[in-house]
Amino acid sequence: MRSRTILIVDDEPKSREGLKKMLGVWSAGQFEVLTASNGVDALQILEQTPVELMITDIRMPEITGLALVSQLRERGIRSQPSVILISGYAQFEYAQQAIHLSVVDYLLKPVSRDKLVESVEKALKAGEERERLLFMRKMADPQLLEVRNEEAALSDPVRQAIQFVEMHLEEAISLQEVAGHVHLNGSYFSALFKEQCQINFSEYVARRKLQKAKELLLKTNLPIAEIASRTGYQAVKYFNKLFKEHEGMSPGQYRSMRNETKAEVR
């Protein structure tokens, strides 16, 4: 399992080693703490190693901390860590630029242990939230999102049908069953659903089940057969075939995206 990494960038040896020591004690071996004495070395590390959090001084020769963060964003380096800036100068201009670069925190030297730990935990939490949002984007189905965005305008029977699907994703769901649940004729319900959602009911159910399957693939280590069962498919071969038709890859290949996503975020 790949270790989680924090990178400290500071041209002052005393400050650099002090931060490393404080984080080493705090992390108790959960993080590998790397250091760089300048922006050039830091960029080389970032290009080769997935870094979860970077703590960098602002005022450094050659490449300033702000320029380092800017280059990190511009180069599209796969490892895009959360960033904490530190400085011996309380300048409003620095804080403004830090906000523009989506820096998580801005600390003034000398940095106390408590303040550093508080800031690091906040930055790591922000990174986890970014990873969650990236997962959501990878899993998103445009047609399902469109139905969700228009949900307020749907009629009561169609909304009830969608709620029924949500509650029974682990089961086989038929149009007739849902039509009966919302007290409508099957043919009328089918036409009504298509008219309001711009998608056939059967396709909606299939897409929603696959969306659930994608969540389970990315967020759990459940076997493929178990995921198929939890989305109402008892035949794993049929589930694999349907998944590949919609996603252009097998469930196993899709699951491998989890590690790729983490590498992109960190």
pLDDT tens digit sequence for 12-28: 999 999 999 999 999 99
Strands (E) in the chain, as ranges, are 4-9, 31-36, 53-57, 82-87, 105-108
pLDDT recorded at residue 259: 57
- Please say whether the beta carbons of 80 and 51 come within 8 A: no
Q: Please, what is the average pLDDT of the chain?
A: 89
Angstrom distance (rounded) from CA 28 to CA 8: 17
Of 86-95, 154-163, 193-202, the least confident: 86-95
Let me know if domain 140-265 sits in CATH 3.40.50.2300: no
* pLDDT(266) > 50: no
Pairing of strands 82-87, 53-57: parallel
| Torsion angle of C-alpha atoms 77, 57, 27, 18, degrees rounded to 10 | 140
* pLDDT(260) > 70: no
pLDDT recorded at residue 218: 82
- The percent of the chain in helix, strand and coil, each rounded to the nearest 5, is 60, 10, 30
pLDDT digits (tens, 9 = 90+) for 51-71: 999 999 998 988 999 999 999
64: Cα separation from own chain's centroid? 29
pLDDT digits (tens, 9 = 90+) for 137-155: 777 888 998 998 898 999 9
- Boundaries of every domain in the chain: 4-132, 140-265
Peptide bond into 110 cis (omega under 30): yes
4-132 and 140-265 share one fold: no
* pLDDT(88) > 50: yes
114-to-85, 106, 237 alpha-carbon distances in Å? 16, 15, 54
Highest CATH level, class, for 4-132: alpha beta
pLDDT recorded at residue 258: 60
